[in-house]
Amino acid sequence: MADGYHHGNLRAAVLERAAEVIEREGPYSFSLRSLAADLGVSHTAPRHHFGSREGVLNALAVEGFRDLAARLRADREAGGGFLEAGVEYVRFATDRPAHFQVMFAPTLLGEGDEELEAAREAAFAELQGGVRSLAEEGRPVEDGAAAVVAGWAIVHGIATLALTGNLDRSGVRRLFEDTDLLTITRRSAGLLFGPVSGPSGGVPGTGSG
Helix (H, G, I), strand (E, B) or coil at 178: coil
One of 20, 23, 54, 176 touching DNA (CB under 7 A): 54
Q: Are 48 and 103 in contact (CB under 8 A)?
A: no
**Measured from the CB of residue 40, what is the shortest distance to a copy of itself in angstroms?**
26
Whats the size of the chain, residue-wise? 209
Q: Could you tell me how many residues of this chain bind DNA (CB under 7 A)? A: 26
Residue 139, by phi and psi: left (phi above 0), alpha (psi -120 to 50) or beta? beta
Burial zone of 133 (CB within 10 Å; 0-12 exposed, 13-18 middle, 19+ buried): middle
One of 20, 45, 104, 161 touching DNA (CB under 7 A): 45
Q: Among 77, 83, 127, 76, which residue's Cα sits nearest to residue 103?
A: 127
Q: Which of residues 26-55 bind a copy of itself (CB under 8 A)?
A: 26-29
For a copy of itself, the binding residues (CB under 8 A) are: 25-29, 104-108, 120, 124, 127-128, 139-140, 142-150, 152-158, 160-161, 164-167, 169-172, 175-176, 184, 187-197, 200, 203-209
For DNA, the binding residues (CB under 7 A) are: 3-8, 10, 30-34, 36-37, 40-45, 47-49, 52-54
